[in-house]
Structure 1
Amino acid sequence: MELFAIEIRTTQWQPMLQWYKSALQLDSRLRRDEDGYALLTGDGWRISLIQRQDDKPRDRSAISLAIEVEDLKSVQRHVQNFLTEPTGPIMKSDEGFLQWTITDPDGNRIKLFQFVH
């Protein structure tokens, strides 16, 4: 088995689509505006953005993405231009990686990390 995609349901479909394409530089492989669906791809991973209607109740589940990058400081410099909320610093873990946690426009947590040797 293989994970196909992380699905994110949002009432802010268009802003989320633009944010993921710009901030994380994902490619839009499939997009159906009339259905409120986009499949975005990175290097070896996918995110499905699905339009959620305002009148439907939202469950309490939340998502968190963990994305490995080669150069965290470079990614940080780029992504900071697209953030709407302040973030904390890059942290070093005891497990041997650097991590920087941000949120997308819908408040979903994204952990960007880089293994250091």
Structure 2
Amino acid sequence: MELFAVEIRTAQWETMLRWYTSALRMDSRLRSEEDGYALLTGEGWRLSLLQLQDDQPRDRSAISLAIEVEDLEMVRRHVAAYLTEPEAPIQKSDEGFIQWTIADPDGNRIKLFQFER
């Protein structure tokens, strides 16, 4: 497993984007204003900024971890025994990966994903 990025959901997407690229001098590697998404990179780390929509309910999750795995099904079988909330199904994305979203005991979201081969 490899930590791919820490995700921050924010209602101040543009302000946060400017702050991270200016104050921390992070590079904007991928940016979609239409989707409210930016992938920023620092030296050896990544940060995703996600636009929180006004009509979206805020959950307990302060942050999300995006973790890339080699075998999502194997990881799912192992992790399922430790979940405190009902298990969600694995989802297929249009971007070429499969993803399983779970939560830690504090409710922080963890996205485990595998690029399709």
Q: TM-score, normalised by structure 2?
A: 0.52
Give 3-state SS (helix, strand or coil) of 2:3's partner: coil
Structure 2, unpaired ranges of 5+: 64-117
Matched, 1:8 2:1: no
**Identity fraction in percent:** 76
Matched, 1:44 2:44: yes
**Aligned-partner residue type, residue 2 of structure 2:** E
Moved over 3 A (4+): none
Q: Deviations over 1:45-75 (max 9, x none)?
A: 0001011101111112324xxxxxxxxxxxx
The answer for the alignment partner of 1:61 in structure 2 is: 61
Structure 1, unpaired ranges of 5+: 64-117
The answer for the alignment partner of 2:27 in structure 1 is: 27
CA distance in 2 between counterparts of 1:56 and 1:30 reads: 23
Contact 2:8–2:62 (CA<8 Å) still a contact in 1? no
Q: How many residues align?
A: 64
CA distance in 1 between counterparts of 2:14 and 2:61 reads: 22
State the Cα RMSD in Å.
Answer: 1.5
Q: TM-score, normalised by structure 1?
A: 0.52
**Aligned-partner residue type, residue 26 of structure 1:** M
CA distance in 1 between counterparts of 2:36 and 2:55 reads: 15
